[in-house]
A and B are shown apart, each in its own frame.
Chain A
Amino acid sequence: MDDAANTGISEPLDLVKLSLGERVFIKLRGDRTVTGLLHAYDAHMNVVLSQVEETIHIVDVTEDGNPLPPRIEKRNLEMLFVRGDGVILISPTQQ
């Protein structure tokens, strides 16, 4: 049955299509991740999300160059446009 479903999928982005309207997890360059409801995407992986939670992983460095333990900063956004060149991966959230 999986085959049956797969035959309709001809390119990678077809898989992203399956997540339309669903919550997705997106990993971004710059140590960021976002999760949100996928509204739209395009061939460049530009993405429009709503109910977004953005997570930024920050490693602060002391003056003498020693890294402090990483900390996480979060913020919530109503609606977000993510430019595709920053996208590393898109995956459906596990729930």
Chain B
Amino acid sequence: MSGFFGFDTSLPERGGQRGGGGQQQFSGFQASNVDETFALGGAGEEEDLAVYTWGEGGMGGGGLLEGGDELNDETFGDDLGEISNNFQFSSQPAPASTAKGKIASTQSRYKPKPVSDPFAFSEDDFYSSRPTKKTTTAKAPSRPKPPTAQSGSVENLWNKPAVSSPAWGTAPSSMTKPTPPPSASYPSQPPPGHIKSLEEIEAEMAQMAIPSTSAAAPTQQKVLSLEEIEKQMVEQIEPPRQATPQQPAPPREATPTQVPGLAGSGYASQQALLDSMFPELGKGPSSALGGSTPAFPPGPRQEGQPQPPHPPQPSPEELARMEELHKRITSKIQSMAKYNNLMGSSDKDFITRIQLSQLATADPYTSDFYAQVFSALKRRRMIAEGQGDGPTVVQVGAGMGLGVGGPVGNRFGKMGQNTMTKLSTQVKKLVENRAQHQKVTNTAALQGALGRVTRGNAAAPRPVLAIPTSNKPENRPASQLNQQTGIHRAALTKKQVMFALEELYDAILELEQMRREAPPPTAMEEIEIWHAKCQAKVDIIWRRLMVMEPLDISNPHPFISLINPIKGQKLFPRLLRHLPHTQSITLLSLLIATYTQLDVVSRAPPPPVADASLLTKADRLDRAKREAETDNFLQFVIPGVDMIINRCGLGLVAGMLAISAQRSEVWRVAATRPGVALYTALLSKAQSLIRSPTPDPMNPQPNQQVDPAELEQWSKTFTYFLHVLLPHLNDLFPSSVAQKAAFGPGAYLIGGDAVSDREGQEMERREAEVWGFVAVLAVNAAEEDQTNLVAALREKILHTVQSSRHPNVSPARAEMKLRNVNMFLNGLGLDASMIE
């Protein structure tokens, strides 16, 4: 197709009346034909074989080829024979000046339609590049005789590879060389002279294996000879014949350029592609022409355009149309060709990989979480408006989904919907395809194991998409040690805790996702399967929580370790939602039993100091961190604890309190905010159970009557609890603790005017928690214990009430103080106003 190039330049010059484009088109598409013919005519079949076969393939017309072959053989033989003759001729005539003029004349002579004739064009080329060629071509046709007389010599020529190959290329040179043996007879004069000359020529050609191109002079001589040849030709040969032999020459010129172009440039390959895409374009004209003149495949084709006689040619409109089409395609290809090879295949591969990895994901919901949530919200609205809904997650295979979900296709606008469907089907196909392949060879896990990431090879290409195979055995730090019970081991390291937490989060997220994917309530079987799956997940989570580890296995207990970091605390309420009642009770028991191991209890924030400037920076940070942890604990864990406690019966509550009293120093726990919160919850629940046996109006049956045994157990436990606590009751109040902890000048500042009102109110809020606790204590306590309680708190009550009346205390804070005290006193039927 590079023939294109050859023609291209000259065609415009030629100023084709018909339009160079038309020719261009032909040459472009029919290059195959041209090539083949050229190959045949130009040189030994062996040499140009490659081109020949290629052309053949493109053509698809075997008959045409063969016909051309024969003809070419003839002409070719002639040519070779002619060459010798020509050489002789050329040697003879001397006058150069005439030659030139003659050439012009020959042109005009042979071509009545010269301008449009493609060969004429080639001739022009020849003149510009090397005139000799033209002459040779002209001569070649003139000799039909050689076959008979010089067949032997011709054969020789053929047999010699060196000769055969240069035949066309060196033709001119051979003609120039001949000059030395000028004795040769006129070309027109036949056999005898011929034979001699041929032999000589052979010899010369052998010598000329490395021929030097002729100088200008020799060519001129040849020109002269041409003239004569022409005369002969006029006499002997019919014009059409001459025309055909001429053709080979120009194309021959073209072919050499063609071939390299083909091989080298991306453009060529694109052209090939183009040909394959529009085979009819290439075939059409050639076949039509071939029918008309099978003998001269090249000739008719190219001359056909200009020459009306030669006939079955496409109509001008058709030509124009094809030309137009071709132009468009060509320009398109060329414009694209600019970017050829800018991106290597590995680059493309890389990008595909990235795109795919985002598109296909094992967890479509979480990988596009926010979009999914958004779409869920939006869908709700749409359903409310009466619009349909569809699945949010596009499944593209078992366990694989499209990572780009969206609110019912609206995410990318109207157009997006189609695109998304298309995209999802494509990805789906790919995933399925990939899954099939992966079954066969699953060595992906070993990929890069030796530190070298292979790019893959033809046999085992690197997969564009890796489908996760999750069969990693689950491991848990604690369980394996659990096999030997009674062992005591080190607490989980921070890293282990974090790791376990991440695992838990993953499991919880999966479980939550599962719950969201509940099958429709009508499908019973599916629901059962779904329940089973969820249950399995819950079991996994339960095991990961390590609640069932022996109580004393470590300090802190693994579960406590999990719940110590803020991350774990935040997990707590989400966990509880999924745990069945019995398990949550177990969990609460464990939590209460190991309450002292909690960071928020064992490392409770120290009492506030009056002057923060006394603290080092590390101290301040540490305090802040502890406060934050405590706040988080109260915010995330305690509500959960409350919830569980609220589902307990009196017996259970009593049991819990007993556990706590046994396993910990109650007053220490109660001195912390989480402790106060826990006990308050327990005691108030017990009280509500005792006072109103049917706290749950929906479900009055269970707690109709409090079991007397339970009641007795409770009162016992509580009494013990209260007596442990009584001596330390004052220390539960943060203000008292702060007062105690203060030293130096700080002692005077604490609780004094220096404390800002904001801090003071914060202090009252903390106090309120404790007042609330002692109020619950009072409510639960028997009569004599109530007296003890008041006695123990007497000073605290008085102090609080008095300080609330102190002029320096802001009204807001004073009111808080009073309310706090009243919380306690009202439980006993008293009021702060009764105090003087």
Contact = CB atoms under 8 A, between A and B. Distances in A.
A66 interface: no
Give the interface residue-count category, chain B: 20 to 34
B709 to A, nearest CB: 44
Interface stretch (B315-323, B487-495, B685-693, B730-738): B487-495
Interface string B452-485: 0000000000000000000010011100110000
A16 to B, nearest CB: 11
A18 B565 CA distance: 12
A68 B205 CA distance: 89
A62 interface: no
A4 to B, nearest CB: 4
Secondary structure call for the A interface? loop
A63 to B, nearest CB: 35
B475 A1 contact: no
A20 B566 CA distance: 11
Interface size class of A (residues with CB under 8 A): 10 to 19
Contacts of A95: 621-622, 625
Given A21-B566, A95-B621, A1 B502 contact: no
A2 B499 CA distance: 11
Contacts of A4: 475-477, 480, 496
A45 B480 CA distance: 35
Contacts, number: 46
Interface string A60-91: 00000000000000000000000000000000
B621 A5 contact: no
Contacts of A12: none
A22 interface: yes
Contacts of B477: 1, 4-5
B492 A18 contact: no
A2 B495 contact: yes
B570 A1 contact: no
B567 interface: yes
B503 interface: yes
B574 to A, nearest CB: 13
B498 interface: yes
Nearest to B481: A1
B496 A20 contact: no
B499 A22 contact: no
A64 B1 CA distance: 70
B439 to A, nearest CB: 23
A2 B570 CA distance: 25
A9 interface: yes
A9 B566 contact: no
A19 B566 CA distance: 11
Given A4-B475, A7-B475, A17 B496 contact: no
Interface in A38-71: none
Interface in B600-626: 621-622, 625
Contact of B503 (A8, A19, A20, A22): A8
A18 B498 contact: yes
Given A7-B475, A9-B499, A2 B493 contact: yes
Contacts of A19: 498
B635 to A, nearest CB: 14
A1 B493 CA distance: 9
Contacts of B472: 8
A25 B566 CA distance: 17
Contacts of B625: 95
Nearest to A17: B502
Contact of B567 (A1, A5, A8, A20): A20
Interface in A1-36: 1-2, 4-5, 7-9, 17-22
A18 B502 contact: yes
B815 to A, nearest CB: 34
6 contacts: A1-B493, A5-B493, A7-B475, A9-B499, A20-B567, A22-B566
Given A8-B475, A18-B498, A21-B570, 8 more contacts: A1-B496, A4-B496, A5-B477, A7-B475, A8-B503, A19-B498, A22-B565, A22-B566
Interface of A: 1-2, 4-5, 7-9, 17-22, 95
Closest 8 CB pairs of A and B: A18-B498, A21-B567, A5-B496, A4-B477, A5-B499, A1-B477, A4-B475, A17-B502
